[in-house]
Amino acid sequence: MTQKAQHAILRFAKHKAGPAGALEAHHERTKEQYASNPDIDTSRSRDNFHIIRPEQKYRREIDSRIKAAGCRTRKDSTMFVDTLITASPEFFTNRSKKEIQAYFTEAVAFMEQKVGRGNIFSAVVHMDEKTPHLHLCFTPITEDGRLSAKEILGNRAQLSKWQDEFHAHMKKAFPVLKRGESALVTKRKHIPTWLFKQSVDLTKQAATVQKVLAEITPLNAGKKRDEAAALLKRFFPRLESHLGQMKKYQATIDYLTQENEGLKEKVKDGSSIKKQLEAARLKQENEQLRRFVESIPQELLHDLRGQGRDSHSKDQQR
């Protein structure tokens, strides 16, 4: 039986300051329940460990570093980067906790060389999900004191170089690791887990709003319309943001969901089939969400988008 290739995995997610609190709650396991992520087994959370422990709240860690460096920021600045580091599930099979610690410690050493130890404010390993993985968060501050994720992470070609260097570094300590196929070759982007979860959550919320809209009759039009408008006012900005985010991954989704013979020949293991099924579900959910937007009464839709423009205009005037 042919043994599956084992790959070192490195992925980046760029963020403004807003999501810092939510990511901190997830990474640092500050909640008792994680309904949005059923993969977390809280009985095993005691096995999680830090390689770099944050000294204060994520937002304060971010702000203090940016202030100390004297960085100029804009509304659209990437304030921090959440780095996911793991390996193929097979790599961790039958490995001791000491070996797993050694793997992630080596990975952190690589990141310290690349982005600077002073920029990293948290590096925590999760042992309470299906596959051990590390979340490492850093502020993308350059050596000359500028906040620039673009310069540190670079474009697609530079990200491919990141992968080459990460693989070369990790292979020295773990020769079993193989270099995965470059995204420049596959032309595909990794679809982040949070996007799948966000899609499920928004689909459920859309169903709730649709139910209220369906209950509007000539007799209760005023009351029900106001109820629907209030729900949509909270829900619609997240929905439009999500659909915008989805555009970045459309090529990957299309690739994974195409049903031609060439693709079928490439599907040789369960993980590939799982990716196809997940992508198909994501595609279906987002088609539903787009149809939902089309089903919103035009006067409501006009008001919602008008509020969004008014809010944006006020922000620019401040």
> Which among 184, 208, 230 is the end of a domain?
184
Query: Are 137 and 90 found together in one domain?
Result: yes
Residue 231 maps to a domain: yes
Query: Are 14 and 154 found together in one domain?
Result: yes
Query: Are 31 and 75 found together in one domain?
Result: yes
Residue 297 maps to a domain: yes
- CATH code at 105? 3.30.930.30
What's the Cα-to-Cα distance from 289 to each of 147, 198, 282, 297, rounded to whole Å? 35, 12, 10, 15
Query: Are 114 and 206 found together in one domain?
Result: no
Query: Are 56 and 104 found together in one domain?
Result: yes
For the ranges 32-36, 47-51, 146-150, 264-268, the lowest mean pLDDT is seen at 264-268
pLDDT at 282 over 90: no
> Which among 149, 164, 184 is the end of a domain?
184
Query: Are 241 and 138 found together in one domain?
Result: no
pLDDT for 267: 43
Residue 246 maps to a domain: yes
> Which among 149, 184, 219 is the end of a domain?
184
Q: Helix H segments across 48-88?
A: 58-69
Structural domains of the chain, count: 2
Query: Are 61 and 138 found together in one domain?
Result: yes
Stated pTM of the model: 0.59
Residue 207 maps to a domain: yes
Query: Are 133 and 116 found together in one domain?
Result: yes
pLDDT for 19: 85
Query: Are 66 and 213 found together in one domain?
Result: no
Distance, in Å, from the CA atom of 239 to the CA atom of 206, rounded to the nearest integer, reads: 9
Binned at pLDDT 50, 70 and 90, residue 232 comes out as confident
Q: Please choose, from the candidates 190, 202, 192, the residue with its C-alpha nearest in 3D space to the C-alpha of residue 288.
A: 202
Query: Are 145 and 233 found together in one domain?
Result: no
pLDDT at 44 over 50: yes
Query: Are 217 and 157 found together in one domain?
Result: no
pLDDT for 43: 75
pLDDT for 126: 92
Residue 83 maps to a domain: yes
Contacts of 308 (CB under 8 A, 6+ apart): 236, 237, 240
pLDDT at 315 over 50: no
What's the Cα-to-Cα distance from 192 to each of 245, 248, 252, 266, rounded to whole Å? 11, 11, 12, 22
Q: Helix H segments across the chain?
A: 20-27, 58-69, 89-92, 97-115, 149-153, 156-173, 183-186, 193-214, 221-246, 250-257, 261-266, 270-295, 298-317
* Domain that includes residue 313, residue range: 193-317
pLDDT for 265: 41
pLDDT tens digit sequence for 254-266: 666 654 334 444 4
Residue 142 maps to a domain: yes
Residue 1 maps to a domain: no
For residues 38 and 153, the model is more confident at: 153
Query: Are 237 and 140 found together in one domain?
Result: no
pLDDT for 92: 93
